């Protein structure tokens, strides 16, 4: 398997995978500009699981979108894996996401007519991998997430928790350096959500990979290395999690 992108430069060992400074973003609604991010500074280190928490409208998902290169910020600087995201063209950003990032969405966004294996293989097929090789790798990842018995099921035949595991497998199948998760437990009950994030961290957490999880779910805080509280477009508090704090 050679899914690790060759053109993504290895950042220096000490450098954060994500380095954001002074990120400002506003949206125009009718004739009014509504500020959503008001100067956000954030570093995310390799091997770190960072939880972005805060009330609705605090700017968590917008920040995630900016880091993903899906939204352009109005001001600030952003380097991801030592690449200046704001200087890239749309095509370059798409290629960068394809090579370096994995995504887990709140609503799973699986293709309804594809089986679990096929859904997971999609990012590899986008990269141009042969179907057989992509399926083999997809099955491998699904098995590590305990989905070996549902390989040929389509999303409509899977429970919410199973669908999210498939979505996680899809995000991990390319072994991305940066994993971005938007409310991965929002559509799941508490127990299922806990199990899904446990599986995500068990399989996805690596020393060379960072994970940013946007969440409201306090029951998954235990999986984070750092808790970043956002409110009104700003980072209000950063909490380093350890066993003592959890207790």
Question: What is residue 158's three-state secondary structure?
Answer: coil
25 Cβ contact partners less than 8 Å away, ≥ 6 residues apart: 35, 36, 37, 59, 62, 66, 71, 73, 74
From the CB of 147, what's the least distance to other proteins, in Å? 19
Which secondary-structure segment (H or E) carries 44? Answer: strand 32-44
Q: Are strands 75-80 and 178-182 parallel, antiparallel or unpaired?
A: unpaired
From the CB of 11, what's the least distance to other proteins, in Å? 20
d(CA 50, CA 210): 8
From the CB of 125, what's the least distance to other proteins, in Å? 5
Q: Closer to other proteins by CB, 2 or 14: give it.
A: 2
Block residue for tokens 């690596």: 206
Number of helices (H), then strands (E), in the chain: 7, 10
Q: Residues interacting with other proteins, by CB under 8 A?
A: 61, 64-65, 68, 70-71, 91, 94-95, 97-99, 101-103, 105-107, 109-114, 118, 122-123, 125-127, 131, 154, 170-171, 182
Q: Closer to other proteins by CB, 45 or 71: give it.
A: 71
d(CA 173, CA 166): 10
8 Å CB contact between 23 and 191: no
User: How far from the centroid of its chain's Cα atoms is residue 165's Cα?
Assistant: 14
Block residue for tokens 């600087």: 77
Q: Closer to other proteins by CB, 103 or 223: give it.
A: 103
From the CB of 123, what's the least distance to other proteins, in Å? 5
From the CB of 121, what's the least distance to other proteins, in Å? 9
From the CB of 170, what's the least distance to other proteins, in Å? 7
Q: Closer to other proteins by CB, 15 or 122: give it.
A: 122
Q: Closer to other proteins by CB, 130 or 219: give it.
A: 130
Q: Closer to other proteins by CB, 128 or 207: give it.
A: 128
């Amino acid at each position: 398997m050679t899914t690790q992108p060759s053109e993504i430069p290895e950042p220096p060992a000490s450098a954060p995978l994500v380095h954001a400074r002074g990120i400002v973003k506003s949206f125009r609604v009718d004739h009014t500009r509504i500020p959503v991010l008001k100067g956000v500074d954030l570093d995310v280190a390799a091997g770190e699981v960072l939880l972005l928490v805060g009330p609705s409208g605090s700017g968590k998902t917008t920040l995630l979108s900016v880091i993903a290169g899906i939204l352009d910020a109005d001001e600030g600087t952003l380097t991801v894996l030592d690449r200046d995201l704001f200087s890239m063209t749309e095509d370059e950003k798409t290629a960068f996401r394809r090579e370096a990032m994995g995504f887990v969405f709140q609503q799973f966004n699986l293709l309804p007519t594809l089986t679990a294996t096929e859904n997971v293989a999609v990012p590899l097929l986008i990269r141009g991998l042969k179907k057989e090789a992509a399926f083999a790798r997809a099955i491998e990842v699904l098995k590590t997430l305990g989905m070996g018995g549902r390989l040929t099921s389509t999303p409509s035949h899977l429970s919410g928790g199973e669908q999210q595991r498939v979505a996680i497998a899809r995000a991990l199948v390319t072994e991305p350096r940066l994993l971005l998760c938007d409310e991965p437990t929002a559509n799941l009950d508490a127990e299922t959500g806990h199990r899904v994030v446990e599986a995500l961290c068990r399989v996805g957490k690596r020393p060379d990979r960072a994970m940013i999880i946007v969440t409201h779910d306090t029951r998954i805080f235990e999986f984070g290395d750092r808790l970043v509280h956002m409110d009104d477009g700003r980072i209000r508090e950063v909490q380093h999690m350890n066993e003592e704090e959890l207790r």
